[in-house]
Structure formats: C-alpha cells, structure tokens
Structure 1
C-alpha cells in the first residue's frame, strides 16, 4: 500500500469511529419514550441513560492520550472500538433500566477514547501541512452524526425496534476493527510522565458528585442528598487544586487558568452548553409524551435545527471580524437563551410551524455559539498548554451535556409532579434552561477579547 493510500485509509477509519461516537450522542434521544415503555419505566426518568454515557466520557477523556503513549495508538484504538461495540450489544440486550445504564457506561468507556486517540493517530501519521485538511475531513463525520441521529433513531425505533439504535454500531464497529488491524500503522509505546491517577480520581469524584447532586433520586431526602453531593464535589475540586500545586506533572496545570479568556470561556461554555444540551433531550420527549408524535415524526421535526446549524457555521468568522468576540457572544447568547425559552410556546394547540421555526433559530444560533466559544476559550493558550487545555475543555463539554439532561429532566419531573401537568413541567423547564443560558452572557462580559478578530481557532467548532 502506498503512503497516500495508507493516509486515506487512516482518515476513513478515524472518521467512521468519530461518526459512530457522535451519532450515539443523539440517536438515543428520539427512542427514549419507546425504551421507557419497553422497560416499564417513566419516559421522564430516562435521563441517566444519557448522563451515564456523557459523564463516563468526561471522566476518562484525559487518560486517552497517556494510554496511547503507554501502550501504542493502534492497540488502544482497537480496544476502544471493541469496548464500544461490546457496550452497544449490552445496551441492546438490556432488560432493565439499571442494566441499560451500566451498558451505556461501558459504551462511554470506549467512546471516550475514539475521538482523542483518532486525532492523535492522524497527528502522528500525516505531515504538518496535511494536518489541518485531514482534521477537517474527520470533523465532517462528527457533524453528520448529530445531523442523522434523531431521524435515524426515530426511523429505527418505529420501523424495527429501539434495540437497533445500538445494534447499528456492531457492523460499523466490526468493519472498524478489521480496518484498524490492516491499515492503522504499527507504533510503539513512547516514554511519558506517570499518569496523574490521583488528580484524575479527584476530578472524577467532583464531577460525579455534582451530577448526582443535580439528579436527586425521588426516593431520597432531596435536600440532604443534594447538600452532601455538592459538598463532596466542592471538597474534591479544592483537593485537586492543592494536589496540582505540589505535583510535578498534574493532570491539568493550574497555570492554565492564568490565561483569562480560558477561565472565562470555560465557565461561559459550561453555563451556555447546559441549556443548549438540554434541548436535544427535552424536545423529542415533549413531542412524543406531550404532543403524541411518533418516533419518526419526532426525529424529522428535529432536522431544521441540524440543517440550520450546518448552514450557518460559515457565518461565524465574518460576524466576529465585524463585531468582535464580546459583542457577538453577548447578542448570540441572548438569541440562544430566548430560543430555548420559546419552546415553552409549543403545545398541542399551537401550529406545527412554531416548533420548526424555533428549532431552526436555535440550531443556527447554537452552531455559531459553539464555534465562537471554542475559539475564544482556546486561542490564547500557549503551545505547551494547548493539549492539556483542549482536554480539560472537552471534559467540560461532556459534563455540560450530562448536566443539561439532568437539570432539564429534573425540572420537568418536579413541576409535572407538583402541578399535576406534564405540559406545565415542560414549559417551566424550557424557561429555566433559557435563563441558565442567558446567565452565560454575564460571564462573557469579562472576556479579554472583545475587539480581537476571528482566528483559526474557529476551526475547532463542533
């Protein structure tokens, strides 16, 4: 095989794995009511299926680079695909909600390594001149996955069964395993500093405790449970600060936070993404549980958001060059927050066009928001801190996805129970998530990049 052919094969392998991982973040959403019915659970209690997957990926993402260095990129990538496929089979075979959550955690173990190690494999196999175009090719798969996910999930659920939203990963994964063995270049382990297992454990405990505090079980004393979890979370994060201060090679250097835009961008990203990531979970639930849509119709209804988001990505750089990061983020954050709150207007009596218009506005604004937030957060990091900062940023993104699902679903359950109306629960929840998103605009006012032009960092948009 020629060098060019080997590079093409590598890019297709990584792109396919990225597609599989990104598809799984959205394909489940439209199937949740059907899964709940099959497992004899309430559709409003299914958020742990999403949270277990995203939280696992957040926790394990920092270890992926070290594992690739320690055991070789090719070997770890093969294992990651294998674990993801096994997890998918276990998801399809689950008979209880508990079994499904455990299977999703296993799936998340494999998913946490697919994108970081795939990027690393590309970085180590192509020239510096080819890297940007190679990464752009791979990122297309990450955009197509969420685009197809809701509709494909709805179609599979309605025409066959919900089990196939997981089983579809099996042939793709098996092909990826074979291609990895044949086409991924052999590499050897390289020397690397010892992995900061204690630091990773502290951050993992902090994120897990915070997520559990948000998603309070109905059978417990809610206030006491949340207080204990939040206290444990704060203690874990503070312990990490002390740990990182005195460790030679911490998981994330505290010096990262001396770059002001990174600190502000990280907090702003977290708040904004909590609201934005609740929508792909809550809207399909509302459409099916409240409005009586079929899974396929629910998935098709989500298409305007994905299509609008894809088309508006090209607008980001010109708009930021014209108005600056600060003005753009303030205005666009308001649009995102208000569009989320506008979902409260959707009901059985409202015209279907309202939902489609709100989804299109939300998709367009959110796509541009993510691109701008990614760029302004990472663009000021030094070359030495770029990898570590990107890893921490990825953790925050996954954490925000889980928190959005937990908070959104929790508010729906709370107000639906208190007022005896699911419709009221959805309305209040959308307004709450919109307000949380609007709070990020206050954070972005502290950016030190108000007048700076768009940079190449915009290529990191997701």
Structure 2
C-alpha cells in the first residue's frame, strides 16, 4: 500500500475556515452537553419520567442522521457556503422554538427541526475542509477543529447546570442564538462557495429507504422495553428498518444516482472505519446521557454540581488533542484503535463502581481518563476512515460517515435507555443505582467486542 503524505502543520490561510467549522461543532457540542445535564429538570417541568427523557436526545440525533444524506447533494448542487449558511439559520431558529416549548411533544417537534439544521453543520463543514485544505494538512485541521469545537462541550455541563439551577432550562437553547448569528456573519468571509460542475439528480427513493431504515431501527430499539408501546409495534419497526437497509444495499449497487454507491465499500480501509465508527460509538455516546442521570437521579446531586463533575471528561478531551498526532505517527492506526477500544470498554464498565459515596477526587480522575481515551478514539477513527478516500468519493464518503456516526449515537442512546428501563423494572426504583450499574457494564462489554473490527486493519497498513 502506498504511504500517505507526511502530515504537515495547518497553514494560517486556513485558520478562519477551521474556525467557522468549529462554530458549527461548538453549537452541536454545547447543545448536546447542556441538554444532558438539564434532562431531569426538563422532565419535572414537562411532567415526564426523567428515565424516559432519552426521546428528547434521540429525536434530535435521529433527525440529524436521517437528513445527513442530503448534505452531500445540497453541497454539490448549491455550494458548501450556501448550504452551511442555511444550516446555521435553521439550527438557530429551531433553538428558539425549543426554548419556547411548553409541552413534551412540542419540544420533540422543534428538536427534530433543530436536527435537520444540525444534519448539515458538521458534515458540510468537514466537506469544505476536505475540498479546500490540502490532504497533508487534513489531520492538523481535524485536530485543530476538534480542539476549538470542544469549547462548547467544556462550557456545556457547567453552564447547563447553572442555568437549570438558577434560571430555567429554556435558556439552554437560547444560548445558541448569539453563536448562530456569529456563524452567519463569518460564513461569507471564510468559506468559498465550492460546487461541483455537474450534479446528478437526487436519489429520492434511496433517501426514503435510508430514512425508514434508520428511524425503524432506532425507534424499534428505543421502545422495545416500553410499557406504553406494544412489543409487536417495536418488533415491526425493527424488521421494517432491517428490510429497508437490505433493499437499499441492493439499490446502492444497481442505481446509477444512488446517494452512496456500493463502490465506496470496495475501499477496505473505509469499510473497516465505517463499521468501527458505528459499533465503537454505542457506549461512548451513551455515557454523556447516562452519567448526568445517574448523578442526579441515583445519587441526588444538584444540577450545577453535576455539570462541574462532568467537566473533567471534556478537559480530558482537550488535553488529549496535542498528543493525538504524535501518538498516531508513532504507533499507527491499527495498534491505537485495537488497544484504545479495549480501554474505553473497560473504562465504561468501571463506571459501575461509582456510588453516591465515591470520593470526588476519584470520580474526577475517572471521568478525566475517559475523556482522554475517548477523544483519541474519535479522532483516530474519523481520520483513519477518510484518509484514503479518492477525491471523487470525498463528498459521499464524508456524508455517509457522518450519517453512521449520528445513527450510532441514536441507537447507542436508545440501547442505553432500553437497558436502563429494563433493569429499573427488574430491580424497581428502590435499587435504581443497580440499574445504572448493570447498564454501564453491558455498554462496556459491547465496546470491548468492537475491538474485533479493528483487528481487520491490515498489519502492513501505513499512516
């Protein structure tokens, strides 16, 4: 296999573009971390069970996953700048709608609309970097973007806890408004409106099949243990999702204008990376949803203190950024992905050792370690997956990866919610801590099994 070009430092001419993409990442990261801390308070305000509030998170993530296939075609047809600008407008407007919601169903509707805007933010921004920034500077650009974007998750837990405890949960959405306005102003200066010379007609039938597949699988898993939805309906949703996915696999192989042609998966590195991203994110993406609930519902911690306790995870992510590139260059993708996947699984399972009496210093250290290895995993997986894609497949390959990442998050949270409700029903509310512990152990074991995927990376693969 031909060695990839040496990784070079990002040049100053691309700083503003990376900053703009980071704004989109910032908005998504801030929204995610703030809402996780605020879920119990939102449940009380909307008269819902806090253990069933995962629908607020899944509705957003699933809307993102379902609409991501549109991002590549819209970017090619209307240009990356115009598409990115529209995404910021939709996301910001929907955030206002979420803040004004006075019922659970209304909030879900605006979360879906917010997800539609969010579906374009990060994939279109990453696509702009792929097309504009030279490949040898791409790893540096990704690391820089992730570093700047993590400022959102860093502020999110504390800011969310503070707003919930001293103001109102509605403000966790209004915080997106000034950030969105800044993004709108910067877009036309930082991002050229790169388009494709010729764009094929949109694959509407393929888009519908993908949407049915993702919605069916995610909602089927989410409701399988619910007492409010029949088992037959949940199983029917799961079966419909799998059937739609199989039909789309055939469609991708035979349809000339398929959103994601089957040729993408002839690239072995890309295929391994996509599978790894899908399964390795189940546990990692469920942890930010589970830990705030465990701290508040099981351990009776106040929202602000919960936000403070979650901050070490993001600090760990920030600390890891400068060392990711040297580690990858020294060890290679294969070694780091195999070992790190195992470590993350063990770390998630070991969260089950936490109780209300766990010393603060130990809990802080544990969360920090998780942040470090989780950040290393995400950057390594994303860069590994995209690094060998030919230029003509960059748009569809990037969009498919983004879709898989968000679908994995929605399914991971759905699995976590299902496991939590199942164990809660088994142990009853008096032993809610045990329900959280068993859920975390199951998620950790899932992550460890994922290591098998990264064992398929060729031993002679070079960075």
Q: Please, what TM-score do these two structures have when normalized by structure 2?
A: 0.88
Q: Is the 8 A contact 1:323 1:451 kept in 2?
A: no
Alpha-carbon RMSD: 2.7
1:26 matched to 2:26? The reply is no
Choose 136-145 or 268-277, whichever is displaced more.
136-145
Query: Aligned partners of 1:276, 1:33: CA distance in 2, in Å?
Result: 21
Indicate conservation of the 8 Å contact 1:269/1:440, yes or no.
Answer: no
Check whether the contact 2:72–2:396 (CA below 8 A) recurs between aligned residues: no
Query: What CA deviation, in whole Å up to 9, does each residue of 1:84-117 have, x standing for no partner?
Result: 1121111111112111111111011111112233
Does 1:368 find its partner at 2:372? no
Distance 1:255 1:424, change over 3 A: same
* Distance in 2 separating the partners of 1:373 and 1:180: 28
Shift of 1:355: 2.0
Unmatched tracts of structure 1, length 5 or more: 456-462
Q: Which residue of 2 aligns with 1:109?
A: 116
Comparing 136-145 and 257-266, the one that deviates more: 136-145
1:350 & 1:15 partners in 2: Cα distance?
Answer: 36
The 1:328/1:7 distance shift into structure 2, 3 A limit, reads: closer
Which residue of structure 1 aligns with residue 213 of structure 2? 206
Q: Which of 242, 245, 256 is the equivalent residue of 1:237?
A: 245
Give the deviation of 1:356 after TM superposition: 1.7
Indicate which of 210, 215, 218 corresponds to 2:227. Answer: 218
Change (3 A) 1:110 1:312: same
Write the mapping of 1:34-433 to structure 2, written as runs, cut at 5 A: 34-120=41-127, 138-180=145-187, 191-216=198-223, 217-222=226-231, 224-420=232-428, 421-433=431-443
Shift of residue 226, structure 1, vs aligned partner: 3.3
CA shift, 1:12, in A, is 4.7
2:141 and 2:331 map into 1 onto residues whose CA distance is 31
Alpha-carbon shift at residue 373 of structure 1 (Å)? 2.0
Deviates more, 1:169-178 or 1:120-129: 120-129
1:445 is matched with which residue?
455
Contact map agreement 1:271 1:439 (CA 8 A) in 2: no
1:350-391 Cα distance to aligned partner (Å, 9 max, x none)? 323332222122111111122222233333333332332222
2:3 corresponds in structure 1 to none
- Whole-Å Cα distance in 1 between the matches of residues 111 and 260 of structure 2? 27
Q: Distance in 2 between matches of 1:129 and 1:215?
A: 41
Q: Deviations over 1:12-39 (max 9, x none)?
A: 5443333222321222110111111111
Aligned residues: 449
Q: 1:325 to 1:249 in 2, by over 3 A?
A: same
Distance in 1 between residues matched to 2:461 and 2:432, nearest whole Å: 45
Could you state the TM-score of these two structures normalised by the residue count of structure 1?
0.89
Cα gap change, 1:191 to 1:394, in 2 (>3 Å): same
Give the distance between the partners of 1:123 and 1:261, measured in 2 at CA.
18
Alpha carbons of structure 1 residues 315 and 73: separation in structure 2 relative to 1, 3 Å: closer
Deviation (angstroms), 1:123: 6.4
Q: 1:275 to 1:129 in 2, by over 3 A?
A: closer
Once the two structures are overlaid, the 10-residue window that deviates more, 275-284 or 141-150, is: 141-150
How far, CA to CA, are the matches of 2:196 and 2:36 in structure 1? 39
Structure 1 Cα separation of the partners of residues 307 and 369 of structure 2: 17
What's the counterpart of residue 15 of structure 1?
A: 22
Superposition deviation, residue 198 in structure 1: 1.3
Q: Is the 8 A contact 1:6 1:183 kept in 2?
A: no
Any unmatched runs of 5+ in structure 2?
1-10
CA separation in 2, counterparts of 1:380 and 1:14? Answer: 22
Give the whole-Å Cα distance in 1 for the aligned partners of 2:360 and 2:413. 24
Deviates more, 1:372-381 or 1:398-407: 372-381
